Structure 1
Amino acid sequence: MVIEQGQVAVITGAAGGIGKGLAEEAAALGLRLVLSDIDGQRLTALAEELAAQGAEVATLVADVGDPEQVESLLALAQQRFDGVDLLFNNAGVMQTGFSWEITAAQWQRMLDINLRGVINGVRSFVPLLLRQGRPAHIVNTASLAGLISSPMMAPYTVTKQAVVALSETLHYELAMLQAPVSVSVLCPGPVASDIMASNRAAGEAARQLDSLLDSTIRQGMAPRELAQLVFAGVAEGRFWLLPHKSFKPALEQRLASILEETNPVFQMVDVEGEPHGA
């Protein structure tokens, strides 16, 4: 898809981390922005910063796990800019702990935000993108955890692998319709953010893990650098957006284990740390 000045980009989870990097890069490219986050204070600060640089910005404080609030985001984009060209389903949170120690409420929170947030974005926005009849693109943020699994991260891994599956299915469906709408799935490794602040560690083992994860993530790729790679991938029409290439041997090992029907063996991924992304 050709990225042009004046196009409209909708970004969820925009107030920090990957979402903020995407918003900053989109503004630098001259796109008009519809930004959403559950953190209203940080969202307002970002919008003011980008507006001061000349960007046109509309914002909505919203919980992407709520279908009605995502519908409100769609309505805002239509009312303010009369359409959408780029949709970034990016909002996400973290949860660590042994699978059996994570509470039902913690599981539900992860499913609501990490997975239903993407589902709601697809359900609300794809009909509009199809009606518009012009090129448009969707980027769903998953993670390396969407491709390979790690212990102590079951809800994150489950939701991110589901996002990959949804994205691939959506890609096939849009191709079947020969629609001018395309999709990418973003599977990054560590990207500098404070996502661990959203974690609600389940058990002592998880608390011991969290400091290591937080340090690794905060020292990860700069969000703006990631955003530049994402926009380049969108312009090239690529489905798989894999900014951290050094994880591929681990993926090859997993695929070989599946094809050979051998029991999986966990190994640390050599990608500046553990396989954590959005």
Structure 2
Amino acid sequence: MKDYSGKVVVVTGGAHGIGAEIARRYAQAGAAIALFDIEAPALETMAEELRTTGATVLAVHGDVADYAAVGDFADRVFESFGRVDLVFSNAGVISAGTIWEEPVEDWDWLLGVNVKGLVHTAKAFTARMSAQDFPSDIVNTASIAGLLTVENSPAYVASKFAALGLTEVLDLQLQGIGSPVRAHAVCPAVVSTDLGRCNEHRNQPEFNPADHPYLQSTDYTKRWAVVEGSLPLGMPVEDAVEVIIEGVESNTFLILTHPAYNPAIAGRVQLLLSGSHPQLVQR
């Protein structure tokens, strides 16, 4: 890993999982860290952990689905540090269900975080980063579910296909204006994080999942068990972050953490070209 002394690294969803490990690694390499997360206690714990290592840390509580909050965060980052070198737009949530039964509120919540969160972060940071006279990077967390359809989680799949597509467009548009900013899309498969806790942090005061019949049904319970059961079996967070950092440093656009899925990605392309109906991913 390179030396990041004097650099500033921004991480949304920085209190847990991939985001927290990214913050640790760049702090160890000398960077100042700006964290943004919806869970205030975990955010402060993470900030204190980094500060005990000597890192300079700005920690701001907020929801990436709230455009004004993300804009205020960006203002505080530039006011505090005067520059930004890397933005990891990492906050994300997951749901499960069938398209015809999963509540619309699930879709609103998930797309608000996984898609609009990326948009809000790009809008808040990109122009100011482009105005800097040095190269910098925006790294959007998509998913292998943005390349392969996962039958259990329709809203999540839709959001991650959107995340990958908008990151491709972002990179093309940055190239088009000659910006020194480069965009990257991270597409991990399952990583051993606490993503399954995301329901605890819904910013939907008008919606209580416990009141929705489908979210109490046997079908939903089975599907959510697949999500929760897969996470402890995933790649260690440290290994995934190692691949991500190497990808960014080598200017890789599409950063794939799980090469075992590459044949399935190639197979999907062949299915698309053949006009065939989708097939379940062979894991």
Q: TM-score, normalised by structure 1?
A: 0.93
| SS of residue matched to 1:167 | helix
| SS of residue matched to 1:24 | helix
Change (3 A) 1:92 1:141: same
| SS of residue matched to 1:48 | helix
C-alpha distance in structure 2 between counterparts of 1:225 and 1:25, whole Å: 12
Structure 2 unaligned runs (5+)?
A: 200-208
| SS of residue matched to 2:34 | strand
Q: Do 2:95 and 2:110's aligned partners in 1 also have CA atoms closer than 8 Å?
A: yes
Matches within 5 A, 1:197-276: 197-199=197-199, 202=215, 203-269=217-283
| CA-based RMSD | 1.6
C-alpha distance in structure 2 between counterparts of 1:266 and 1:121, whole Å: 33
1:24-57 deviations in whole A, cap 9, x for unaligned? 1111111100001000000000100110011110
Match of 1:53 in 2: 53
C-alpha distance in structure 2 between counterparts of 1:172 and 1:241, whole Å: 17
Match of 1:272 in 2: none
Q: Do 1:21 and 1:224's aligned partners in 2 also have CA atoms closer than 8 Å?
A: yes
1:66-114 deviations in whole A, cap 9, x for unaligned? 1100001101111111111100110001110011111111110011111
Q: Do 1:20 and 1:223's aligned partners in 2 also have CA atoms closer than 8 Å?
A: no
The percentage of aligned residue pairs carrying the same residue is 30
C-alpha distance in structure 1 between counterparts of 2:242 and 2:76, whole Å: 26
Match of 1:123 in 2: 123
Q: Do 1:152 and 1:206's aligned partners in 2 also have CA atoms closer than 8 Å?
A: no
Q: Do 2:93 and 2:114's aligned partners in 1 also have CA atoms closer than 8 Å?
A: yes
Matches within 5 A, 1:124-203: 124-199=124-199, 202=215, 203=217
Q: TM-score, normalised by structure 2?
A: 0.91
Change (3 A) 1:212 1:152: closer
Change (3 A) 1:181 1:3: farther
Q: CA deviation at 1:177?
A: 1.8
| SS of residue matched to 1:173 | helix
Q: CA deviation at 1:219?
A: 2.5
Match of 1:22 in 2: 22
- The residue identity in structure 1 corresponding to 2:164 is V
Match of 1:69 in 2: 69
Q: Do 2:24 and 2:50's aligned partners in 1 also have CA atoms closer than 8 Å?
A: yes
Q: Do 2:36 and 2:43's aligned partners in 1 also have CA atoms closer than 8 Å?
A: yes
C-alpha distance in structure 2 between counterparts of 1:217 and 1:41, whole Å: 23
Q: Do 2:4 and 2:26's aligned partners in 1 also have CA atoms closer than 8 Å?
A: no
Change (3 A) 1:14 1:32: same
Matches within 5 A, 1:4-43: 4-43=4-43
Q: CA deviation at 1:21?
A: 1.1
- The residue identity in structure 2 corresponding to 1:235 is E
- The residue identity in structure 2 corresponding to 1:139 is V
Q: CA deviation at 1:150?
A: 1.4
- The residue identity in structure 1 corresponding to 2:173 is E
- The residue identity in structure 2 corresponding to 1:16 is H
Q: CA deviation at 1:194?
A: 1.2
Match of 1:273 in 2: none
C-alpha distance in structure 2 between counterparts of 1:103 and 1:209, whole Å: 14
Q: CA deviation at 1:206?
A: 2.6
Match of 1:275 in 2: none
Q: Do 2:3 and 2:30's aligned partners in 1 also have CA atoms closer than 8 Å?
A: no
